[in-house]
Structure 1
Amino acid sequence: MGYAVVLGEALVDLLDTERDGERVYRQAIGGGPLNVAVGVARLGGAAQFVGSLGDDVLAGRIRDFLTALDVGLAGAVTVPAPTTLAVVTFAGPEPDFRFYGEPPSYGLLGPDDLSLPLLEGADVLYCGSVVLLRPDTLAAARRAWSLATGLRVFDPNVRPRLLDGPAALAGLRAVVAEFAAGAHLVKLSTADADLLYPREPVEGVAAYLRELGAATVVVTMGAAGAVLAAADADPVRVPAPKVNAVDATGAGDSVLAALIADLLLDGEPAEPAGWVDRVAFALRVAGLVCESPGGATAMPTRAEVRRRFEG
């Protein structure tokens, strides 16, 4: 089994919560791509995180956290900036993110910072998330995408509060189309789809991304499961297991982590039905993540998923 390169952001989440009758912020290591890398490693895959990390104590904690989980850091660079903070508040289980830190520590990876042997040796390359909104990291992602010799996986992971008006949204929509055109797998959420393609049915979004060139598209819909568009088959809905959700942070990331881990293990399915089985497993992984607070720290092992859903 080879390894996956996950290119994107790592930061620190400050989760709004209550303790002893007072509002407090619980610190957690986060970032959608970091969650994906951790999820891949927890599910038995090999992952290398590629991105820019700050030069402070918080960045040291991120490095220690990833190292302890066997996520490689050969492609991570240190930049002279404090670690970006994401303040996370909740109205129900879905989190709302506001980002603090300028320039963002995660947005300073440039094309020349990439390790070419690391990229060219990867069986899977993931690109996506908020780094696509920063010029340097977008250029780095584009170069990585062009150098990839394995499977290319893309997730826009849109954060509306980082989009400054209609022009920014239009620019992101163009970037999504660009990466989707060369992707073996695209994963997005209904929130991403609603923002990027307003009033378009979920199945229509999946079919559109397939028309652009994406081989397989998965749109996650929370408790409603996911829509899958694979090969030339019509989009199908895959149900999610019933769980006791307390925190959806990282749930979508865990779906992608499970799909990437299975790509490393067995490659692409030969038939669309194989994708249905993989998405069903990925939704079980996400269900288990939703039953625990936190994102990266909630990523389960395969044994934990089996115990929870297979008795």
Structure 2
Amino acid sequence: MEKLSLLTTEGSNPKTMRLDEMSIGDILRTMNDEDQTVALAVRQVIPEIEKTVEKVVEAFKNGGRLLYIGAGTSGRVGVMDAVECPPTFGTSPDLVKAVLAGGEGAMYQAVEGAEDDETLGAKDVEDLQVNSKDVIIGIAASGRTPYVKGALNHAKSCGATTVSLSNNENSLISSYADIPIEVITGPEILTGSTRLRAATSHKLILNMISTTAMVKTGKVYQNLMVDVNASNFKLRERAKKMVCTITEMDEDRAESVLEETGYNVKLAIVMILAQVDKEKAQDLIISADGFVGKAVKLASMEEG
């Protein structure tokens, strides 16, 4: 087992050796300065993130899933990203799913020993019935968490594409990944507290992966979330604004079409831009693999 003391994430930050003596303002400014280095560290691993997105897009197109596996803060960041996909992109809760060591209760209270159980990681992956269509991202700031190691190892044996996300070079879990992502954020201002910069890097990267994959599978038109699940007043208003912006239609007409489609923004846009009824718009969207722009072009080609 790798010694924790040798890990970069466990190192002592020379800029904060007197953290307990610093003023509140100085602590905050130092944290802000250090946080600004995270995005630059993420930029260094964009090639690996790009490879991951390509695999996720392929998975989505072939009936596969994106699964996040982690413990503690790393696992919770995975949960945060996964649960936002259904309302933002209208996806099934099973398309992007997060599994946390110790179960759902570990989201709110630490489950002692769960992250040290390699067998538990393997079992949780087995319970998900992982297969060769899936992409599994194991997240561990230290890069040596046994739970994540067990999960990745089992996923690999199932033929899934495995990705590791850690904050140390040559991390243990990298050896179990087809695509290792090692984002070096350095020692935290509070020694070993990887809920800080390390976790911030994880959130940035998972957001990049899921959002870009959704863009490339037709969930976005221009820069608008046209598959949003308009489940409340705010989202219905956003849906109306999107339709008005894209079609240059007045609010009353946009609302009328949206009501006809059950507030399906994508369907409403195609109906208006292609000047077709709901059934035809649905057929066009299916033929266009979910892409609005392509659906409208298909309609134009049919007219021609």
Higher helix share: 2
TM-score range for the pair, normalised by the shorter chain length = 0.3 to 0.5
Question: Scaled by the length of structure 2, what TM-score is found?
Answer: 0.36
Higher strand share: 1
Rg larger for: 2
Question: Scaled by the length of structure 1, what TM-score is found?
Answer: 0.36
